[in-house]
Amino acid sequence: MSDLGIRARTDVLSSRVFHLKSVLFSARLWAAILTVTLATPALSAPRRATPVDGRKAFGAPTQITPRPLQFQTLQLQRSRQNHLLLRATINGKPALLGVDSGAPVSAIAINRVAHFGLSPATTARHDVPTRLRINGRYNNVVIARSFLLGALNLVDEPLVAVDLSGSSRAAKLMNEEAIDGILGADVLFPTQAVLDCRKQTLTMKVDPNAVGAAPGTNYRGYAGIPMQVSPGYNLYVDSRLNGKRAKLLVDTGAFGTLLHHRFVRQMRVPLRDSPFNSAGVNLKNRGVQLATISRFSVGSVNMRDKQVGVIDLEGLIRTGLLDASPPVAGLLGAEILQRYNGIIDFGTRTLYLKR
């Protein structure tokens, strides 16, 4: 088991808009252009008929003009490490990405930079920082000429080159394909993505002028839980653990729900050893213990006798947040999001759960 997420120790500012999108990233501005490839739409809008030419013979075929693609829905797959994976194309080559709501920026494995022909970012040409600090260490920024997600092509897309060898080793042990990179919040927010953890689908807005909710989304029977978004685009939800108020980081990159060891010990909850380990980018493997939280709630959704992982989250979550009131007590991971039919709506900033 491993944690695929990138956790920036200092808040990273990032935002994107369609067409001439600007990304505010570590107080620097980068510009890029989004283009749409219509060859393989995952979800197409109804076609619109153009006016019939009255000079044509009665019964002649009517010319049909397709409407621009507004949304697309991409099918994901779930790995044995309990991560949601997306097939993409980078510079014309197939790529496998982990979809990580806890990662503020998208990333590429450092040992795959040459394979995909990614070029180093230059401030003069790309107007982006050439390095970013991730969990206390600096990582280079590289540029993908084409970053294709279904019908959506991100042009001159900046990616952070990081060491994903821990995830690759775990994939090899489980006899599955290693990921090439991570799709993070810097792409999920501007496309107003809807990530369905149970159906394993990712719906994204392709047309920036499209209005209304993504097609196929139905929240009937779900509890809507507002997500607070930090300046670094981390998502937090309110929770209560054995009656104690806390915030949890919504993190599809975490294999399961993990709580900070100091928070759990303060509640005097017994801990049990486990054979599992977890690690983040630029951080060493850490042992995972287990605990049972008798009263565990997220928003209005109550869960009884919930088993969670317990780990030292220093470095993954800033100390100031771990000690805040209420504290960020841990990561709401893939196991709960799958079991409770989690849907993360990045457009409305809402987490939906259903028992």
Q: State residue 190's pLDDT score.
A: 93
Domain ranges for the chain, please list them: 20-38+69-205, 223-353
Residue 194 has pLDDT above 60, yes or no: yes
Confidence tier at 326 by pLDDT (50, 70, 90):
very high
Mean pLDDT of 227-237: 92
Tokens of 179: 């990921």
327 three-state secondary structure: coil
Q: What percent of the chain has pLDDT over 90?
A: 58
41 vs 319, more confident? 319
CA distance 189 to 22: 13
Q: What is the pLDDT of residue 9?
A: 30
Pairing of strands 223-226, 201-205: unpaired
Please tell me the CATH code under which domain 20-38+69-205 is placed.
2.40.70.10
| Residue 37 reports pLDDT greater than 50 | no
Residue 167: what pLDDT? 81
pLDDT interval class at 66 (50, 70, 90): low
- Which CATH number does 223-353 carry? 2.40.70.10
Rg (CA), the chain: 21
Average pLDDT, the chain: 81
pLDDT confidence tier of residue 192, bands split at 50, 70 and 90: very high
Tell me which residue has tokens 């109550």: 302
Residues belonging to the chain: 355
Burial class (CB in 10 A: 0-12, 13-18, 19+), 228: exposed
* pLDDT on residue 271: 92
What pLDDT is stored for residue 225 in this prediction? 98
Q: Give φ, ψ of 186 to 5 degrees.
A: -65, -20
Q: What is the mean pLDDT of residues 86-112?
A: 96
Spell out the residues 6+ positions from residue 222 whose beta carbon is closer than 8 angstroms to its own.
Answer: 341, 343, 352, 353, 354
Q: Is 53 exposed, middle or buried (0-12, 13-18, 19+ CB in 10 A)?
A: exposed
Residue 12 three-state SS: coil
Asked whether residue 38 carries a pLDDT value surpassing 50, the answer given is no
Output the pLDDT for position 168: 81
For residue 263, give the H/E element and its range: helix 261-266
What are 277-325's pLDDT values in tens digits?
676 665 666 788 999 999 999 999 999 899 999 998 887 887 789 989 9
Burial of 346 (0-12, 13-18, 19+ CB in 10 A): buried
**CA-wise closest residue to 89 among 145, 38, 41, 139:** 145
What DSSP string runs through 66-134? Answer: PPPP-EEEEE-EE-TTS-EEEEEEETTEEEEEEE-TT-SS-EEEGGGTTTTTPEEP-HHHH-S-SEEEE
Lowest mean pLDDT among 79-83, 143-147, 235-239: 79-83
In sequence order, the 6+-apart residues with CB closer than 8 A to the CB of 62 are 49, 50, 52
Name the pLDDT band for 108 (thresholds 50, 70, 90): very high
Lowest mean pLDDT among 4-13, 35-44, 288-297, 324-333: 35-44
Q: Are 9 and 315 in contact (CB under 8 A)?
A: yes
Do the domains at 20-38+69-205 and 223-353 have one common CATH topology? Answer: yes
Question: Residue 134's pLDDT is what?
Answer: 77
> What are 120-159's pLDDT values in tens digits?
998 767 677 888 887 778 899 999 999 999 999 999 999 9
Q: How many helices (H) and strands (E) does the chain have?
A: 6, 28
